[in-house]
Amino acid sequence: MYWNKTIECMDKELLKELQLKRLKETVKRVYHNVPHYRDKMQKIGLTPEDIKTLDDIKLLPFTTKDDLRQTYPFGMFAVPLSEVVRIHASSGTTGKPTVVGYTRKDIDTWAELVARAIVSAGGGKDSIIQVSYGYGLFTGGLGLHYGAERVGAVVIPTSGGNTKRQIMFMKDFGTTILACTPSYALYLAEVMEEEGIKPEELKLKAGIFGAEPWSENMRKELEQKLHITALDIFGMSELIGPGVAMECQYKNGLHVYEDCFIAEIIDPVTGEVLPEGEKGELVITTIAKEALPVIRYRTRDITALHTDECPCGRTHARIEKILGRTDDMLIIRGVNVFPSQIETALLNVGEVEPHYQLVVDRIDNLDQLEVWVEISDKFFSDEVKELEDLKRKITHEIYSTVGINVAVKLVEPKTIERSEGKAKRVIDKRKI
């Protein structure tokens, strides 16, 4: 049930003591070893000694992706390269990629966190874990890999792609846990269906899905299609990789591993810390990392924090399923819209396939959103009237969920590109 009960179910007061001790150490370390941090602190007259309580974390300046870019590639490392044993990098859709480094101990910590996550999903040494996250500079593949080895599972390092072969291995090797992005899981399920393989022919029990936002409706869809329990894992390369937070069997939020991370939620505009339960931007301070500690890192991910008790017994705080990133938020006629909200609405309709894309354009100086959604073959043989009815139904559902009127375009099966990693939900014609 737990990988590390002592830590995962630690008394909350003791956990806070541990956090404070580690926070102080981390601040000291970056102050002395990373000129960029020292400069930022000196500018506001802050010294490590000013951090006396956990609440004092608010005194520290935020760190952003931009800080990492300015110091590209290794300027934020708090140890010499001789101590670094691994580099990863995030895709960097804009500008230079973000480079992150790990000491041997960091790799060990990371494996420990992913091990906790795997055990949360019911995994252990008897599991056969297929890691279909991409291997390479992306942290997904190797992150899950080391955690799966740590728990003693059989690891199948398929990485992403070659979907038919993935399915063959899944069947022949008796994979019990699938780890990949939710959109790739959906694609796997689709190809499985085409190949005439029924979920009961597989031994799959659980899915560890993350690296992109996905709705509760998508969870239902995946659980139904694959006959599994689908759980959400959160992480980002700047913080360590996957394994920053993970759902337990109760699916009521993702436990943030608080012995290694301090989570805050801020108003993304004012930077003010928000009270518990309010939605805002997740800010994380790493308190157990050596090579690349980050102080109050602005993740741009929107969620809320909860500290009430969880029936699983873990005492670590939980974040809600991530709604999306501030970068992916669309502002349509003044209304903030996240792709995950559209996903919720679409899957509420029921008659559509869970494949969709949002096309944004600016027409006559107004931002327009067109929602493309696949419908099954059977609809295309239907009367035009029925298609129109379905369209109206979808438009209405989006209106009642998100509060905007959008244009809906029904497209034939397989029109929308399938993803082997993170799905591309938004096509922004304004940027082309």
Q: Determine, following the binding rule CB under 5 A, whether residue 119 of this chain makes contact with Zn ion.
A: no
- Look at residue 426 and give the partner it binds from ligand ADP, Zn ion, none, a contact being a CB closer than 5 to 8 Å depending on partner kind: none
Give the binding range for Zn ion (CB under 5 A) out of 36-44, 126-134, 229-237, 248-256. Answer: 248-256
- Look at residue 376 and give the partner it binds from ligand ADP, Zn ion, none, a contact being a CB closer than 5 to 8 Å depending on partner kind: none
Angstrom distance (rounded) from CA 364 to CA 80: 54
Angstrom distance (rounded) from CA 41 to CA 248: 38
- Look at residue 248 and give the partner it binds from Zn ion, ligand ADP, none, a contact being a CB closer than 5 to 8 Å depending on partner kind: Zn ion
Which CB sits closer to ligand ADP, 264 or 370? 264
Closest by CA to 411, choosing from 330, 325, 346, is 346
- Look at residue 176 and give the partner it binds from ligand ADP, Zn ion, none, a contact being a CB closer than 5 to 8 Å depending on partner kind: none
- 408 pairs with which residues across the strands? 371
CA-atom Rg of the chain in angstroms: 22
Q: Rounded to the nearest whole angstrom, what is the least distance from the CB of residue 377 to ligand ADP in the complex?
A: 31
Q: Rounded to the nearest whole angstrom, what is the least distance from the CB of residue 367 to Zn ion in the complex?
A: 39
Which CB sits closer to Zn ion, 175 or 315? 315
Closest by CA to 246, choosing from 209, 295, 281, is 209
Phi-psi group of 34: left, alpha or beta (phi > 0 → left; psi -120 to 50 → alpha; rest → beta): beta
| In contact, 168 and 174? CB cutoff 8 Å | no
Considering only 314, 316, 355, 425, the residue that binds Zn ion (CB under 5 A) is 314
Which CB sits closer to ligand ADP, 184 or 379? 184
Which CB sits closer to ligand ADP, 46 or 239? 239
Strand positions, DSSP E, 42-201: 84-89, 99-103, 128-131, 154-156, 177-180
Q: Determine, following the binding rule CB under 5 A, whether residue 116 of this chain makes contact with Zn ion.
A: no
Q: Rounded to the nearest whole angstrom, what is the least distance from the CB of residue 250 to Zn ion in the complex?
A: 5
Which CB sits closer to ligand ADP, 139 or 166? 139
Angstrom distance (rounded) from CA 55 to CA 128: 43
Which parts of this chain interact with ligand ADP (CB under 6 A)?
Answer: 90-91, 139, 210-213, 232-237, 299, 301, 322, 325
- Look at residue 211 and give the partner it binds from ligand ADP, Zn ion, none, a contact being a CB closer than 5 to 8 Å depending on partner kind: ligand ADP
- Look at residue 312 and give the partner it binds from ligand ADP, Zn ion, none, a contact being a CB closer than 5 to 8 Å depending on partner kind: Zn ion
- Look at residue 171 and give the partner it binds from ligand ADP, Zn ion, none, a contact being a CB closer than 5 to 8 Å depending on partner kind: none
336 sits in which H/E element: strand 335-337
With b meaning 16 or more CB within 10 Å and e meaning fewer, what string describes 383-416? eeeeeeebbebbbebbeebbebebebebbeeeeb
- Look at residue 213 and give the partner it binds from ligand ADP, Zn ion, none, a contact being a CB closer than 5 to 8 Å depending on partner kind: ligand ADP
| In contact, 318 and 84? CB cutoff 8 Å | no
Which CB sits closer to ligand ADP, 90 or 103? 90
Residue 156 backbone dihedrals phi, psi, to 5 degrees: -110, 105
Q: Rounded to the nearest whole angstrom, what is the least distance from the CB of residue 279 to Zn ion in the complex?
A: 20
Q: Rounded to the nearest whole angstrom, what is the least distance from the CB of residue 144 to ligand ADP in the complex?
A: 12
- Look at residue 210 and give the partner it binds from ligand ADP, Zn ion, none, a contact being a CB closer than 5 to 8 Å depending on partner kind: ligand ADP
Considering only 59, 154, 312, 359, the residue that binds Zn ion (CB under 5 A) is 312
Which CB sits closer to Zn ion, 320 or 351? 320
* Number of other CB atoms surrounding residue 277 within 10 Å: 12
Which CB sits closer to ligand ADP, 48 or 101? 101
| In contact, 74 and 81? CB cutoff 8 Å | yes
With b meaning 16 or more CB within 10 Å and e meaning fewer, what string describes 95-126? eebbbbbbbeebbebbbbbbbbbbbbbebbee
Cis bond upstream, residue 268 (ω within 30): no
Q: Rounded to the nearest whole angstrom, what is the least distance from the CB of residue 215 to ligand ADP in the complex?
A: 10
Q: Determine, following the binding rule CB under 5 A, whether residue 9 of this chain makes contact with Zn ion.
A: no
Q: Rounded to the nearest whole angstrom, what is the least distance from the CB of residue 38 to ligand ADP in the complex?
A: 26
- CB-based contacts of 410: which residues, under 8 Å, 6+ apart? 373, 374, 375, 379, 387, 390, 391
Which CB sits closer to Zn ion, 252 or 368? 252
Closest by CA to 73, choosing from 52, 106, 34, 99, is 99
Residues that bind Zn ion (CB under 5 A): 248, 310, 312, 314
